[in-house]
Homo-oligomer: A and B are copies of this chain.
Amino acid sequence: MLLTNARLPQESGTIAAVDVAISHGRIQAITPAAGRPGGIDLGGALLLPALVDGHVHLDKTLWGLPWRPNSGAANVAGRVENERLHRRDLPPVQQRGAALLRQMIACGTTALRTHTDVDDAYGLANFHATMELVASFKGQADIQVVAFPQSGIVTRPGVADLLAEALREGADLVGGLDPASIDGDAKAHLDVVFGLAQRFDRGIDIHLHDRDPGGNAQLRDIAARTIAIGMQHRVTVSHAFSLGTPDENDFAATADALATAGVHILTSSPSAGPVPPVLALRARGVVIHAGSDNIRDLWSPFGNGDMLERAFLVALRQGFRADEDIAVALSLCGDAAALGLPARRIAVGMPADLMAVECETLSEAVARRPPRKLVTKAGVVLARDGRYTGA
């Protein structure tokens, strides 16, 4: 396959007009645009690495269903209960999740991590459905599955065993949720999570919503536990709102602990309430990347699976206006390495996970978020002009 007439941002900051030859799933050559016939003419569209969504819940989405008013409560516990109540009435995960995956791929996402609920009400049903869904998209997206104890572990008999069974059956990571505020016993909760990770040699991804200083104390505990079992750069904490603290000393101590332990931070960059400060964390060596979190589900009516829109929301939330900062926001939304996957670059020899966007610069792509002109996964075209075409 030959992509012609693309515009490729260079490390120097300039943009070069190029043709890109692809075969066997990889970029074979990048040459100055030469008006070659027979390829896919990108008409001067900007060529960027395909996007990465570090945190979604494919099993929760209502994507593709008739609009449903939000019936959730104002706090996490209430939203958990709301979902437990209404979930039985929904069509299968395979249908809803597939509708969302098609949308995400159409927006240029070809790698993602999904948290799938494992709890005492539904057992492994969501997990099994998610694994089927993932298998059906093999080759179109690299999908990591987190066995996620959405209703808690310590307070829910049997959930620890269900998590173990999910890991035995192939879950890529073990999840956790607000060890102190949901389960009421941070030590017991983290003992289970880290114990399972060690036993099955799998990564960890913990939801932590706590906003008070206790949140940062838990982050430092997680950092210490990560070092203790030698899982540097295989542990992520999602949300970590407490890093948005105004206490500079508490922030610095926590960020340094995370950097030393290689604990990654995932933000969906919500606009209300404190969030982890992106530039300050990076300055201290912490890996921070981004994900959609809830996409039109029983938790939130918002979200659309477009990581260019997520980059826009990250930039707004962090007060970014300069090109170099907006580039950081976008990099958070394409950070495969943060998930332990090969880093993405448009260079000879790299996998051809690409997207083309009709705009002048990377900042314009984030500001304007036009439909993706082309999306490829390992050189296979999966979407054109904003529409999923399939493999």
Binding site for B on A (CB under 8 A): 66-67, 69-70, 72, 270-273, 296, 299-304, 312-313, 315-319, 321-323, 326, 359-361, 363-364, 367-368
Contacts and interface: CB of A to CB of B under 8 A. Distances in A.
The 6 closest A-B pairs by CB, nearest first: A272-B319, A271-B316, A67-B360, A271-B317, A271-B271, A67-B364
Contact of A70 (B66, B273, B321): B321
Q: Most chain-B Cβ atoms within 10 A of its Cβ — which of A270, A302, A361?
A: A302
Contacts of A360: 66-67
Nearest to A294: B321
Contacts of A69: 322-323, 361, 363
A326 B313 contact: no
A68 to B, nearest CB: 9
Contact of A72 (B270, B296, B321, B359): B321
Contacts of A303: 367
A270 B304 CA distance: 20
Nearest to A315: B302
A69 to B, nearest CB: 5
A266 to B, nearest CB: 18
Contact of A368 (B300, B304, B312, B322): B304
A169 B67 CA distance: 50
Most chain B CB within a 10 A radius of its CB, from A271, A318, A363: A271
